[in-house]
Structure 1
Amino acid sequence: MEKRKKKKKSMWSVFFKPIKIILFVFLAVMVLGCLAGGAVFLKYQDEILACKEKADSIMSKTSKTDFSQPTDTRIFDSSGNLIGTINSGHYEYVPISEISENLQKAYVAQEDRRFYKHHGIDYQGLLRAGLVYIKNKGTITQGGSTITQQVIKNTYLTQERTFQRKLTEFFAAPQMEKKYTKSEILEFYCNTNFYANRCYGVSEASRYYFDKDAKDLTIWEAATLAGISNNPSKYDPVAHPETSQKKRDQIINNMAKNKMITEEERDYALAQPLTVAKIYEPGTKENYQTSYAIHAATLELMKNDGFVFKYVFANKAAYDAYKEQYQEIYQSKSDMIRNGGFEIHTSLDSDIQNSLQSTIDERLKGFKDVQKNGKFALQGAAVCIDNRTGYVVAIVGGRGTDDEYNRGFLSKRQPGSTIKPLIDYAPAFETGFYYPSRLMNDHLFDKGPKNSGGKYYGAVSVREALNRSLNTVAWQVLADIGVDKGIGYLGKMHFTGLSYMDNGNFSMSIGGFTEGARVIDMAKGYSVLANKGMYSNRSCITSIKSQYDGEIYNESQADERIFTEDTAYMITDVLKGTLEKPYGTGYGLGLSVPAAGKTGTTNSSKDTWFCGYTKYYTTAIWVGYDTPKAMPGVYGKTYSGRIWHDFMKNINKDLPPLDWDMPSTVYLSNVDSRGEKTTSETGVKDLFSSVAEAAAKADAVKWREEEERKKLESQSQKNLEDSVAAQQAVEQAAASLQSLIGELNGLKYRDSTTAEKVNTAQSLLAQLNGTQYYDSLKPQLDEAVSYVSSLPEKEDSTKPQEIGPGMTKPSETAPAVFPGDIDSGVGAEPGFSPGDFEDGVQSAGPGM
């Protein structure tokens, strides 16, 4: 019995003895590990805690959007057609359902065989890496990272093999496994890997190397990509095809070894030659549409960040500070767009764009000279705005489509007389002291400008002055309302070419900017006149979608009131005359629909413009050289005007001929010769605004000055009219006297009418006393009187032969009695001779 118990005990002892040894060793290792771990922690606790804190911070903020690269920024026209792509690597994020299972298996087989079993950390792999780390005396030469850890590394950490990075991965990986599924983590992995040759993510790599989608990768193709991402510089199949194929084959074998593919599939895949397609899709070349769209989108991103745009500057310090701030922020936002991740939809109409481009090219085709850079020497630029929406629908930056320099929004040029309605006349109409019929004195004055052609018209209405584009009048108007006030209106319309040096610059009245105006700004300014005085904050952007943040464009940007509706209507009515009046500088450029516009030509025709609009569209045209150069014979009406006419005629041809509605506060009134309102029926009428008049009356001081001016002008006008009438009377009297003198000198006889004629002549002479005619005509009259007094008397057959009692019939030879022959105080003076009167008096006297 005891032997049996002993034997039984011996059998259990044999069975438990190995277990005891294993448990003892395990406990010993655990104790030693804890001691070693404790020692390590005590030594490196600061670094460990820092890594843990970093991992916690990363995982608390992580988002699915973190695991993708920016896609190419794409730009679309108003019809949704792709018009431009900015290549940022052609990155495209693809879901796991669109990624070949062959690639998924290849990655698991090669990078993390226990991927579906562990919870972020593969302790076996970590132990292996740790032993190698100890063996190499603290130098990390082997991975051991799981796919989860690699996703963290690719997205949030550097590629350096450091203890701190590995420890951060260690703390972060389990948290990521709790937050995302295995499929999502593998999806992140495929989309964050770099595959050499500018290929980020599996989608672009599949297109570049094999010209196919990621879902269609074969086993050998999947193995090739998995090998490249392991070490892109080493296993690039383009640069290193042999090492790439060896890596590919290794992965294929691993896939078979881990039962992920059959032996037949392995053998077939290994037999395939390593061939790559190298399909590279460059970004599209920037054109006039896309360059402006990027610029406009950049400004929208600046608005989103609260950037405050400024246009008018008090001094150099303010100007320089703003420009520096603007350039820095503008560049960062522009780079952001060009780095990808945006989808930009625009109002740009490709049909209208093509029409505008072809019109410029056709009209300027005769100018064939080129610059050293191969571009045409003479250039043109234009911008068209749809007045119904406020959006830019076309922008042309030069001749042809190969020039990437967009003069439509980049170039600043002197605007010449096209600026007059915006800086001079519309602001002046706002005051109420100026209106279309007001008379101005067009004359050359000291330190003022000259009119084109050197002609001056004296008293001329504002309407005619603007139609004729008289520089002296525009100068006087801006000087009166104030240069800074006029510039302020340009600032409200977001003109970006204003400098602090323009403050107080009277040359601004006729387009003499320090920097210049952009074509886009001129178009936007004239669209204010076309749209009842309202400025639209819209450019060409209708939508900006961020890859990460969705729609970011604030479409509800309110329009801004610049001019009253009355002012916009009256200026528009005046500018119609530019096209319709024979003396208008744009005469002959009218359309089949109501239109208004203005020419502009700078000194020596270095810059020529035409800006005009209909109810439907506003278009600004510029023609000139990139480096300003004289263009003899070229004016705003010629090439710029003709381009405007041809283009606007085309895009307005199928539209109803709508005119602008006259506001209820604008009315027609008779005007007198001074251009002022009158209740009299003069047959001449013009526009006035009750709103503007109210504004004028509100300025009491100015109103009194204006009333005094009008009173003085009225008296001056009356004096002038009286003077003219008096002069006319004098000239009439002189002409009549001259005629009578001639008649008297031509008599052969005296009769009963002779004395009457002499009396009339002497009466006329008396009227001329004190005038320039008296001294010359008096001797002539005296001579004539002396002459006729010596003439024989002719019997008047109409008189009876018998006369009254006591009277005798005078002898035919007896002299008649004439004034001067008696003591009347009026005697003939010697020295009178016929022909001594003033030349040029040709009109006959009364009754002649």
Structure 2
Amino acid sequence: MIRLLKFFGWSIVAVFCGLLLGLSGAFLYLSPGLPSVEALRSIQLQIPLRVYSSDNKLIAEFGEMRRTPIRFADIPPNFINALLSAEDDNFANHYGVDPSSLMRAATQLVKSGHIQSGGSTITMQVAKNFFLTSERSFSRKTTEILLALQIERQLTKDEILELYVNKIYLGNRAYGIEAAAQVYYGKSIRDVSLAQMAMIAGLPKAPSRFNPLANPTRSKERRDWILGRMYKLGKITEADYTTAINEPLNASYHVPTPEVNAPYVAEMARAEMVGRYGSDAYTEGFRVTTTVPSNLQEMANTAVHEGLMTYDQRHGYRGPESRLPGKTREAWTQELTKQRIISGLEPAIVTQVDKNGVQVLTRTGTGEEHIAWDTMKWARPFLNTNSMGANPKQPSDVAQVGDLIRVQRQPDGSLKFSQIPQAQGALVSLDPQNGAIRSLVGGFAFEQSNYNRAMQAKRQPGSSFKPFVYSAALDNGYTAASLVNDAPIVFVDEYLDKVWRPKNDTNTFLGPIRMREALYKSRNLVSIRLLQALGVDRTIDYISKFGFNKQDLPRNLSLALGTATLTPMEIATGWATFANGGYKITPYIIDKIESRNGDTLFVANPPSVPKGTVASDGIAMPASDTFTVNATPGEAPSAQPAPQTPAVAERIVDGRTTYILNSMLEDVIKLGTGRRALALGRSDIAGKTGTTNESKDAWFSGYNADYVTTVWTGFDQPESLGKREFGGTVALPIWMNYMAAALKDKPPHTQAEPEGILSLRVDPISGRAATPSTPGAYFELFKAEDTPPSVNELSNGNAPGSPLPADEAAPIDLF
């Protein structure tokens, strides 16, 4: 008997020694290839790129992984208890490896012949998740065990748990418990209930199998089992257990909801970040703050949406998107699930038509809803761009059962009959003092088209381009009082055998006309004559200083009529020079970039108008302290950027020129094609309409010293907006809607009068300085060196100091 006991004793010692030697050998064999556990302390988890408005509201999130790391101190104790009850209830007592769990896994393998569980502790899962693959092999398991032992020696239990809960995949692109709480419940892990914590704690074992969205029954079974374990282990009371077990499984899919609707802005920021950091932009947890305030962006969204809807309905109803008569309710519901909401316009199917309106089925699933007849009366049949059918007399004239239509939900919850506009639009608003983009809309709906028309659509600006030609004239000796002949002109190309007879929009000619009047009346012939006198090449050289590419400016006289191909952003950038007193600015969208740890990596330092240059109301322009850092693409900077001296914008136009031109563009609002804008009741706005041939493009650009805003409208495939549509009827209302909201409660703010400006009385007939007895004389602004001579000076020849020869002071007839 004693010999038998000795035999078993020595056998146990031998087995133990064998295991010890085996583990030692495995350690010696594998240790050279084991990663450094110390790297876990500085591990960089993948965190998505987040883009914010200037007032810190979320615009968008980019990245394959949804993750928001959380510190151990912020994890609710009940969640830790739920997790340990589900995954590793002996976590506090073992040293990285739980022999009993390994033996249980080994027993299951022997009995079934298949690996059913790995017997892994949370520490072993950390080792696998951070350092190893998911391969099922004995060598990988041995490496996992050795790493777990090292991790336990070098990290605390709290550190291990923090790494685990932030790394694990929990389904639906959610990595980490904070992201999972947001995805399934739309709130932080700190705010979910005990039952919801148990549900999340049950996901690591098999995120797809126990997913509450894909498999709610299995998910509830797993949740209830974990709650039972927590109660059995004494982690919760019986009352807590009863309440939690009876809570329904109320998970639903929540995506990060943008607080600001600015998809075109978000895409611009994303593209710039990828240009700076490469693919790391999506994973390094950058926080990007844009230059766009949320309130201005929402104003721009509303203005473009309402403007295009108004234009569209003005041209009639094109009919339903499709017709599904005779289908079952189930078929209609299925069809609705295939349709997207476009800029707030919901899909709906007409289920009943009566004298008071129509009943429709929507995607909300709340049953049928009513559309009142009053909201349908606009829907005259669309025949073509210039004509419509008769006014509808009853709902059945507009809709039939089975029609797939669009509806717009009103603030009170009621529905309005609508349709998706075919015409498109773009709006870009800049701070003319430094180029900061304050709002940008690239189309009617980003869901409909990702094409950013504000940045990418090169279209002809029409008459909104004329101020650049007038600026060139004012900088080359012409004045606002210069007389130019508004008379017919014919150009013959002897090589192409072509004749060009440019004309004014009204087909009328006014003869000699002051430049100021010619601009606010948008006389085409005057612009052409000015360009011809200045010279095309010389004028292009001048205009290109505003930031335009010379290749986009045609080298012929049609340039005066706005036949260049330019984007709304380029036009707004050029117009900013008029608004800021002659300085060139560069648009920018990213104001600040921060790292995952909150370190500032970049702060924009845009070339800005010198302090105090524009402020007629006594408000000095701020010279903000800015910082910048040069980042190597693909490499995230780690140090705080050093302070830099604020950059000063380059002056490209005489400030007196922009001051005089500004007064001329103010007259476009007071007396010309922009008169509708008088409804804003402001004295500090200036602007110009633009309409191209056949009304294929309609523009309005305008500004005060706070914002310069350009609006374009047209079709993606150029076609006429209609023979009665112009920049003043389509684009200007959008501009007014936006600027009215943007400038609300702001005091007047325009350019201060620079030195070297004189105001003189002028003879309206001759354009010369008026005498006290001259009838109808008016005051005009001049540069000191460009004042016109008086009649008396001309009668004595070229008087000393007269800026113009006698033969040039007469009304200008260039041809």
Shorter-chain TM-score: what band? 0.5 to 0.7
2:576 matched to 1:530? no
% of aligned pairs identical?
A: 29
Distance of aligned partners of 1:295 and 1:426 in 2 relative to their CA distance in 1, 3 Å threshold: farther
8 Å contact 2:213–2:252 — kept in the other structure? no
Q: Could you tell me which amino acid in structure 1 is paired with residue 724 of structure 2?
A: G
3-state SS, counterpart of residue 314 of structure 2: coil
Residue 280, structure 1, aligned to residue 256, structure 2: no
Amino acid aligned to 1:628 = P
Within-5 A mapping of 1:425-824: 425-427=470-472, 429-430=474-475, 432-437=476-481, 443-447=489-493, 450-452=502-504, 453-455=506-508, 462-475=515-528, 477=530, 500=551, 502=553, 504=555, 507-514=558-565, 516-518=566-568, 520-537=569-586, 539=588, 545=594, 547-552=596-601, 554-559=603-608, 560-561=649-650, 562-581=652-671, 584-586=672-674, 589-590=677-678, 591-630=681-720, 631-641=722-732, 643-644=734-735, 648=739, 654-657=745-748, 659-667=750-758, 687-689=781-783, 714=807
- CA displacement at 1:342 relative to structure 2: 5.8
Whether 1:60 and 2:39 are equivalent positions in the alignment is yes
Q: Identify which of 72, 84, 88 aligns with 1:112.
A: 88
* Residues 791-847 of structure 1: per-residue CA shift (max 9 Å, x gap): xxxxxxxxxxxxxxxxxxxxxxxxxxxxxxxxxxxxxxxxxxxxxxxxxxxxxxxxx
Which amino acid is the alignment partner of residue 754 of structure 2?
P
2:462 pairs with one of 416, 436, 452: 416
Q: Note the residue ranges of structure 1 that are not aligned, 5 or more in a row.
A: 1-13, 306-328, 694-706, 721-848
> CA–CA distance in 2 between the matches of 1:718 and 1:501?
33
Find the aligned partners of 1:334 and 1:537 in 2 and give their Cα distance. 24
| Residues 348, 540 of structure 1: 8 Å contact kept | no
Structure 1 residues 480-489 or 585-594, which shifts more?
A: 480-489
Q: Can you list the C-alpha shifts for 1:748-781, whole angstroms capped at 9, x where unaligned?
A: xxxxxxxxxxxxxxxxxxxxxxxxxxxxxxxxxx
Q: Match of 2:492, as an amino acid?
A: D
- Give the secondary-structure state (helix, strand or coil) at the position aligned to 2:755: coil
Q: What per-residue deviation string (whole Å, max 9, x for no partner) do you get for residues 9-58 of structure 1?
A: xxxxx8x99799857864686478647965x789xx6xx47732xx13x7
> Would you tell me which structure has more strand in proportion to its own residues?
2
**CA distance in structure 1 between the aligned counterparts of 2:424 and 2:158, rounded to whole angstroms:** 58
1:51 to 20, 29, 33: 33
The 5 A counterparts of 1:113-192 are 113-122=89-98, 142-155=117-130, 157-162=132-137, 166=141, 169-170=144-145, 172-173=147-148, 176-177=151-152, 180-192=155-167
Whether the 8 Å contact between 2:699 and 2:711 is mirrored in structure 1 is yes
Give the superposition deviation at 1:279: 2.6
Find the counterpart in structure 1 of residue 427 from structure 2.
382
- Asked whether the 8 Å contact 1:77–1:83 carries over to 2, the reply is no
Task: Identify the residue that residue 393 of structure 2 maps to in structure 1.
Answer: none
| 2:699–2:727 Cα contact (<8 Å) kept | yes
Q: Secondary structure at the match of 2:202?
A: helix
Residues 166, 689 of structure 1: alpha-carbon distance in 2 compared, 3 angstrom cutoff? farther
Match of 2:491, SS state, is: coil
**Cα distance in structure 1, aligned partners of 2:763 and 2:195:** 95
Give the letter for the 1:512 counterpart.
Answer: T
Please give the alpha-carbon distance, in whole angstroms, between the structure 2 residues aligned to 1:719 and 1:548. Answer: 67
How many correspondences in the alignment? 643
Structure 2 CA distance for aligned equivalents of residues 637 and 244 of structure 1 = 60
Q: Does 1:366 align with 2:325?
A: no
Equivalent residues of 2:63, 2:282 under 8 A apart: no
SS in 1 for 2:754: coil
The offset of 1:717, in angstroms, is: 6.7
How far has the Cα of 1:243 moved from its partner? Answer: 4.8
Deviation at 1:602, TM superposition (A): 0.3
**Alpha-carbon shift at residue 435 of structure 1 (Å):** 4.5
AA matched with 1:195: L
Q: Report which structure shows greater RCO (CA 8 Å, sep ≥6).
A: 2
Q: CA deviation at 1:600?
A: 1.0
Q: Secondary structure at the match of 1:714?
A: helix
Cα 1:677–1:228 shift into 2, 3 Å: same
Partner of 2:295: 349
Aligned equivalents of 1:587, 1:212: Cα separation in 2: 51
TM-score (norm 1): 0.61
Alignment-derived partner of residue 794 in structure 1 = none
What's the offset of the Cα at 1:158?
A: 3.7
Per-residue displacement from partner, 1:710-730 (whole Å, max 9, x unpaired)? Answer: 76x83897999xxxxxxxxxx
1:120-140 CA-to-partner distances (Å, cap 9, x unmatched) read 455776687789999999x97
Residue 538 of structure 1: CA displacement?
5.4
* Distance of aligned partners of 1:162 and 1:492 in 2 relative to their CA distance in 1, 3 Å threshold: farther
C-alpha separation between the residues in 2 aligned to 1:129 and 1:500? 73
Closer, same or farther: CA 355–369 of 1 in aligned 2, 3 Å: same
User: 1:668-712: per-residue Cα shift (whole Å, max 9, x none)?
Assistant: 57889999998999978755557999xxxxxxxxxxxxx9x976x
Amino acid at match of 1:236: N
Could you say what secondary structure the match of 1:160 adopts? coil
CA distance in 1: counterparts of 2:262 and 2:244, whole angstroms: 47
Report the CA distance shift for 1:292/1:270 in structure 2 as closer, same or farther (over 3 A): closer
Q: CA 1:415–1:124 in 2, change beyond 3 Å: closer, same or farther? A: same
Structure 1 residue 182: deviation in Å? 1.3
Change (3 A) 1:166 1:120: same
Q: 1:650 to 1:32 in 2, by over 3 A?
A: closer
Structure 2 runs not aligned, ≥5 long: 322-418, 494-499, 609-648, 788-800
- Measure, in 2, the Cα distance between the counterparts of 1:241 and 1:654: 53
2:751 & 2:445 partners in 1: Cα distance? 35
1:292 counterpart = 2:292: no
Distance 2:750 2:446 in 1: 35
Letter in 1 for 2:421: F
- Secondary structure of 1:228's match? coil
Report deviation, 1:416.
0.7
C-alpha spacing 1:155/1:478, structure 2 compared with 1 (3 Å): farther
Task: Name the amino acid aligned to 1:366.
Answer: R
Aligned partner of 2:726: which letter? Y
- For the 8 Å contact 2:58–2:259, the answer to whether it is kept is no
Kindly state the Cα deviation for residue 204 of structure 1 after the two structures are TM-superposed: 4.8
The 2-side partners of 1:510 and 1:718 are apart by 23
**Which protein is richer in helix relative to its size?**
1
| CA displacement at 1:603 relative to structure 2 | 0.4
Instruction: Identify which range, 170-179 or 290-299, moves more after superposition.
Output: 170-179
| Matches of 1:256 and 1:333, distance apart in 2 | 44
Q: C-alpha displacement at 1:273, in angstroms?
A: 5.8
Bigger drift between 121-130 and 567-576 goes to 121-130
- Residues 409 and 64 (structure 1 numbering): CA distance in 2 closer, same or farther, change over 3 Å? same
Q: Is the 8 A contact 1:461 1:675 kept in 2?
A: no
